[in-house]
Every structure is written in structure tokens, then in C-alpha cells.
A and B are shown apart, each in its own frame.
Chain A
Amino acid sequence: MKTTMSSANDRTWRAPGRVELYSWLAVTVKIGLPIAGGLLLWHWASTFLFSSILFPTPLATLTEAVTMLRSGDILKDAGASLGRIGVGFAIGSAIGVILGLLVGYFELARLAMDPYLQFFRFIPPIAWVSPAIIWFGIGETSKVFIIVYGTVFVVALGTIAGVTSVHRDKIRAALMFGASEWQIFRIVIIPSTVHYSLTGMRLAMGIAFMTVVASEMLGADSGLGYLILSSRLWMATDRIFVGIIVLGLLGLLADRLFSLLINQLAHKYRSYT
């Protein structure tokens, strides 16, 4: 109980002014040094280890990024990928949460759906690219379908873990006041699982980034995956690198944004016991 209190306090504890200045410096050094080191290593490798045509230098990559930004190419492709991720992730999360709550809580739903859940979760989203293109063509629908598929199971399994980890006494407390099964579901189960669902969604977001690239490589006319693949035909390694780095940056940004949102909006659903 003591540790619970102190961890709750740590979250609200703020350093006084001087320490904050110092910590800003520390953060800059902590993040800045590794990045600078990485860029130096990259530059060294592409200049002395490999041919720069096969492995562009950081500067060449940056130059190409600026060109692509001016022409709007990169924005178009990044926008296309992000749009697919956004739609697929939203639909997949919604289905995953509902599925997880039903399978986790209702015996009948578990009996009916759990075998399918256990079976399909082992089939990677990329395996569905071929049938998806046959069914939906190379348009948006096939990409979104595959991202939805990749998201659903991770979110559903996270939510199920949330339902099964609800402490017995929380359910008994509602039972002793005469709560119906539906009331327990609404008052106890759903709030208890919020944090688990969100954690599942955070994992699913990473999968959505991986999936969209794979699906764009196998059949698309836009998106970062398409950019990376089509640039290979022209040996435009600098464009490939721009695509890869933009992908990494967008993923990082999306993850940070999501965890910030969780902390701001849903932190009360998190259990410290």
C-alpha cells in the first residue's frame, strides 16, 4: 500500500526551477547524443564501408527529403498510408473491444467465438493480402481490410485479459447489492478493461504500420510502401531511405501521441494494485 501511494505521488511531483533546467539539459544530451552518434556512424558507413549509390549518406537523404517535400510526393504517400492506418485501426479497435468484452464475459460468446479467435490470430495479416486483392481490388478497401484484421485480434486479446483479471471482490461487491449480470458488465467489467484495451490498441498501432507497408508493396499505387518498392526500380536509394525514415518517424509520433492521450484521458482506469 505504501508503494502505491508513493508511485501515485511521483506522477504529480514536479522538480523546482533549477533542477528543471538541469533536467532539460540532461534530456537534450540523452536524446541528442545518441542521434548525433547514429548519424555519424551512418555517414561513415555510407562513405567508407559501402558505395554511396547503394547506401546514401544522411545529407543526401535529407536533400532528397526536401525535394520530395517541395514536390509534395512524400506528403501524398505519407497521407495515403496514414489514412489507411487511421480508418483500419479505428474500425479494428472498435470490433476488437466489442469482441473482447463479449468473449471475455459471456459464456455463450466464448463458446461460440473463442475457437475462431484462437485460430485466426495465428494467421498473419500479410497472408490475407492475396485474397483481399482478389476480393476488393487494389483500392483502399483491401488495405483497410488487412489493417482491420491485424488490429482486431490484438485488441480483442488485450480486452479479454482485462476481463479475466477483474478482481473477484469487485464483482462480489456488486453482487452483494443485487446487481444483475448486465449491471456487472456495465458497472464493473467495462471500466476495468479500459486500460487493457488501450494497451492492446497501442500494440495494434505498431502492427498497423507494419501491415500497411506490406499491403502497399503487394498491390497499390500510393503510400509509403509503394514509394519504397517503386523506388527500387529506379535504384533511387535516397527515396527509399526517405520512405523508411518517414515511416519510423510517423510510427514514433503516433505511439507518443497515443500514450499521451491514454495518460491524459484514461489514467484513472489504471489499477495500481
Chain B
Amino acid sequence: MHENIELPDLVVLSGVGFRHKGANQDDVVRDFSLTIRRGEFLCILGPSGCGKTTVLNLLAGFEKPTTGSITISGAPLRGPGAERGVVFQGEASLYHWLTARENVELGLRIAGESKEKRRKIAGDNLQLVGLQGQEQKYPSELSGGMKQRVNLARVLAGRAEILLMDEPFGQLDAQTRVLLQDELTQIWVKTQRTVFFVTHDIAEAVSLADRIVVMRRGPASNVKQIIDCDLPRPRNRGDPAFGHLYSLVGQSIASEVVDLRRHP
């Protein structure tokens, strides 16, 4: 979508380091620098435990960097903010006592919007993620894929400019995952948001991203390589170009996966 267009910088992480509080804690990330451009779809890929989710939590403002700085549109990042919305990993983040619609209304309710307006916006966004007719259902009555649609609709309704997605499809079965990847691409094209998408699934990253950021294995992880992913959309997994990119990314990440035979 955005090929050959210069996109302005939106989020800049420079020399970011983070370690959990307490004695004898290793740095989770160290000297992590990355620029996120406005409107791009960025996938961050790395072996499990490398600190992908930590970087997302830092961007969300749930955690504070120990060193370095993060700026958004030039201003330093301070805590969570409505311009950044997190699509969480699973259903634990949804409110099980609220219906799908009431869950999607959450951001608007906190912002003090009127009931009619909330209802309207929530309805529009539920439709956007393909949940029309499911508004009155509780999360326990929805399938795993539907729950993640609610999670996405909640953030879209909150009008966040940047979507921070933390392995949102990681707990879904393979077919549903591919379906949601395709729908997410369409929604992203339609809504023109910036997406920061954490995954450990190479095919998912190649299907979705404009750029793929490969992280080193932890601790003290940071960016190993950024791979441009300029395949035309909609992307076809059977396409030879897809396969070429897949193996390129795969090689980059393979050397970062901890080999227990060599690193007991």
C-alpha cells in the first residue's frame, strides 16, 4: 500500500534499555533503537523470551525504560495514552461481565461519551471486524477468533492512532489465524492506522508487514536486522516471492533461536 512513499517518523526509540526492578536482574533489552513510521505495518519478530512483549509494554507506557528515550511525534512518551491502543494476547483482557458491545464501548465510556454515541461507534467497529449480530453475546459465548475481533474492535473504537498488537492471533488455530490476518490487512488499509505487531510466526510476519524487525535472542536483546517486505497485497502464501522472503527472514532468525544442544 505504502510502497515508494516516504512515510514520516512517528515513534522513535533511541538507546532504550529495560530491566525489571530488583537485584540480580538482567537487562531484557539494551540499546534498542528503532523508528516506526506513520501508517506503516511493522512486525517485530524474535525467538520466545527475547523481549518483544517488553518493547510493546514500553511503547504502551505500561513500563518505563531504564535507559534511553521514546518519543511520539517528537514528544517524550509518558505513561499510557489514548493515541496508543493495545490488542492483548487473549481473552483475559476482555471484561467477562460485559457484552461484546459493552466491551468495545470501554474506551468511549472512560472518555465520558454519551450513550448514543458509544452505541453507534461500537456498532460500526463491531461491523468492521465482522461481528454484526454478535453484539449482545458475552465473551464466554464467543469463539477464540471472535474474542480477538472484540479485542481489535475495542482498540479501533477508542480511535487509537497506533495499534500495538501483542501476538493477538497466537492462541488461535491455523485456519482462523490466516483468516484474521487477511481481515486485519483489509482493516488496516481501510482505517490507515500505524501497526506495531509482535509475533514469533515467520509466515504471519511476511503476510502482514511492510517491514519486519528481527530481534536478537535475549537477554540484552535489540534489533538484529530490518527486512523490507514489499510484496503487493493481498499476499499469496504460494507466491515464489513470498517463499523467498520467508526463507530470508527464517535464516535471520534461525541463528537467534537458542539451540539447547549447543547452549545447555
A residues at B contact (CB < 8 Å): 1, 4-5, 8, 167, 169-170, 172-179, 183, 187-188, 191-192, 194, 268-273
Contacts and interface: CB of A to CB of B under 8 A. Distances in A.
- The DSSP consensus for interface residues of chain B is loop
B85 interface: yes
A176 B59 CA distance: 11
Contacts of A183: 110
Contacts of A4: 140
B9 interface: no
Contacts of A5: 140, 143
Contact of B82 (A167, A178, A194): A178
Interface stretch (B93-101, B181-189, B225-233): B93-101
Contacts of B138: 268
A253 B154 CA distance: 43
Contacts of A173: 86, 88, 93-95, 106, 154
B92 A170 contact: yes
Contacts of A175: 62, 80
11 contacts: A4-B140, A167-B92, A169-B92, A170-B95, A174-B106, A177-B106, A178-B110, A191-B98, A268-B138, A269-B96, A273-B91
A268 B97 contact: yes
Contacts of B93: 167, 169-170, 172-173
Nearest to B95: A170
Contacts of A268: 96-97, 138
B212 interface: no
Given A1-B144, A178-B81, A172 B111 contact: no
A194 B94 CA distance: 16
Contacts of A169: 88-89, 92-93
Contacts of B119: none
A273 B95 contact: no
Nearest first, the 4 A-B pairs at minimum CB distance are A169-B93, A177-B107, A167-B92, A177-B110
A176 B95 contact: no
Given A172-B62, A176-B160, A192-B97, 17 more contacts: A5-B140, A5-B143, A169-B93, A170-B93, A173-B88, A173-B95, A176-B80, A176-B84, A176-B86, A177-B82, A177-B106, A188-B95, A191-B97, A191-B98, A268-B97, A269-B96, A269-B97
Contacts of B62: 172, 175
- The DSSP consensus for interface residues of chain A is helix
Nearest to B62: A172
B158 interface: yes
Given A4-B140, A170-B93, A272-B140, A176 B85 contact: yes
B124 to A, nearest CB: 17
Interface in B59-113: 60-62, 80-82, 84-86, 88-89, 91-98, 106-107, 109-111
B3 interface: no
Contacts of A177: 82, 85, 106-107, 110-111, 158
B111 A178 contact: yes
B171 interface: yes
A192 B98 CA distance: 11
A224 B61 CA distance: 60
B141 interface: yes
Given A8-B141, A173-B86, A179 B96 contact: no
Contacts of A187: 106, 109-110
B80 to A, nearest CB: 5
Nearest to A169: B93
Contact of A272 (B81, B96, B160): B96
Interface string B104-138: 00110111000000000000000000000000001
A23 B154 CA distance: 44
A167 B94 CA distance: 10
Contacts of B84: 176
A78 B62 CA distance: 56
B88 A1 contact: no
Nearest to B85: A176
A183 B94 CA distance: 16
Contacts of A172: 60, 62, 80, 86, 88, 93
Nearest to B88: A169
Contacts of B85: 176-177
A175 B171 CA distance: 24
B182 to A, nearest CB: 21
B127 to A, nearest CB: 21
A270 B140 CA distance: 10
